[in-house]
A = this chain, B = another copy of it.
Amino acid sequence: MNPAHPPIVALITDFGLQDEYVGVMKGVILSVNPEARIVDVCHTIEPHGIVQAGRMLVSVTPYFPPETVFVVVVDPGVGGERDILAVRREGIVLLAPDNGLLSVWRDDWLSVEIVRVQQARYFLSRVSRTFHGRDIFAPVAGHLTRGIALKELGPAVAPGGIQRVSVPKIRIEGEGEVRGTVIAVDRFGNLITDIHSEVLSELERMQPKRDWRIEVRQTRLYGLCSFYGEVDLGQPLALIGSRGTLEIAVNGGSAAVHLDAEAGTPVLVRTAR
């Protein structure tokens, strides 16, 4: 840890903002380390949205300073058998339940430092079985920002020993077809898909992107745009969004409304034949 920099704790939870859960976690973090800077990344992960939380990590971890401690509390198994993991990877530290969400973030875990969080001396003195965010995650995050080593938290986890959830692997099929899904609708009504730009770069080696046909519900789009204003107001378009995945938008409007789409809607990119 660079002692010259104030330590940062970044929070991702499904707690929402209408209850005091997030505020209490902050109180505990600051009780352990009053110097910590706490950043709310997102607290509106759908309840128990493990995949959504893992995908959000993909979008955000590259943009935070080294040594940021990410705390991800999307934890339907709280109080039961599931472990809590602490991970050091790519210069940051992550605390998360071992329920598969980390496998959505990255799929290669062979040479990564991972430990089971078990040392109760870093927990609150009284640990409930319903709110580990407050009783374990928050105080451990505070201690991590004060520089304790991961190995002080508990035993190492064998390479690749984390829980996994399966997420569809998007690939080029047949003679040049990519089938994906809308995984999120943002506040603007943009449709975020799980089709990564890498797959589309491959597809581009088969055919220039201006010839692709993109299908969402009854709408057919031709070619990829670069930004929203490239089409007329109210018109739909496809582009690579800020998450590095295919995004369907309507310039100045909501693609979710105009195309009658939502999370789960299939999206097809096909080359012209």
Residue A76 CB within 8 A of the other chain:
yes
B contact residues around A65 at 8 Å (CB): 27, 30-31, 34
Q: What is the size category of the interface that chain A forms with chain B?
A: 35 or more
A227–B19 touching, CB < 8 Å: no
B226–A27 touching, CB < 8 Å: no
A23–B42 touching, CB < 8 Å: yes
Q: What is the bound-complex CA distance between A111 and B41, given in angstroms?
A: 39
Q: Chain A 1-45 against B: per-residue CB contact (8 Å), 1 yes, 0 no?
A: 000011010101011111111111011101100110111111110
Of the A-B pairs whose beta carbons lie under 8 Å apart in the complex, a sample of 16, sorted by A's number, is: A12-B23, A14-B188, A17-B44, A18-B42, A23-B60, A24-B41, A26-B39, A26-B41, A34-B37, A38-B39, A63-B134, A76-B229, A76-B252, A79-B228, A129-B239, A130-B241
Residue A56 CB within 8 A of the other chain:
yes
B79–A229 touching, CB < 8 Å: yes
- 6 A-B pairs besides A15-B187, A16-B186, A79-B227 with CB distance below 8 A are A10-B27, A18-B187, A28-B63, A47-B188, A47-B189, A129-B226
Query: How far in angstroms is the closest Cβ of chain B from A239?
Result: 7
B contact residues around A5 at 8 Å (CB): 34
B contact residues around A186 at 8 Å (CB): 16, 18-19, 21
B63–A228 touching, CB < 8 Å: no
Q: What is the bound-complex CA distance between A242 and B22, given in angstroms?
A: 13
CB-contact partner of A42 in B20, B35, B252, under 8 A? B20
Given A42-B20, A47-B188, also A27-B60 (CB < 8 A) = yes
